Amino acid sequence: EAQVTQNPRYLITVTGKKLTVTCSQNMNHEYMSWYRQDPGLGLRQIYYSMNVEVTDKGDVPEGYKVSRKEKRNFPLILESPSPNQTSLYFCASSLYNPSSGNTIYFGEGSWLTVV
């Protein structure tokens, strides 16, 4: 089954404790990205990757890191989480750049709370 899998789905952590949210897709998609969803703000892009070893900042990259060592994986790293990073995070993938009209497939979401 074609899917985007992210883990963990739910996490409560403390300020400053590094964490990684993993994301994996099995559709051989070249494009992957991370979004955060907050009430009234919609979906905002954090980082995206056009292909292996190619990453770029989205609209809200501060406080986050990503890597794309393999085509299928695109982990999101919070080196020193802060409470304002409490949010619902979505990993997503697309065959190619979605700005060219390719459909985006989203993971199930990861609820992150930083206390």
Q: Does residue 105 bind another protein (CB under 8 A)?
A: yes
Which residues on neighbouring strands pair with residue 69, listed in sequence order? none
Name the nearest CA neighbour of 94 among 29, 50, 33, 49: 29
With a CB cutoff of 8 Å and minimum separation 6, the contacts of 67 are: 55, 74, 75, 77
CB of 70 to another protein, least distance (A): 21
- Residues 3, 92 contacting (CB under 8 angstroms): no
Q: Is 109 in the site for another protein (CB under 8 A)?
A: yes
Residue 59 vs 70, nearer CB to another protein: 59
Q: Applying CB under 8 A, does 61 fall inside the site for another protein?
A: no
**Between residue 75 and residue 94, which ones bind another protein under the rule CB under 8 A?**
90
Residues that bind another protein (CB under 8 A): 33, 35, 40-45, 48, 50, 56, 58-59, 90, 97-99, 101, 103-109
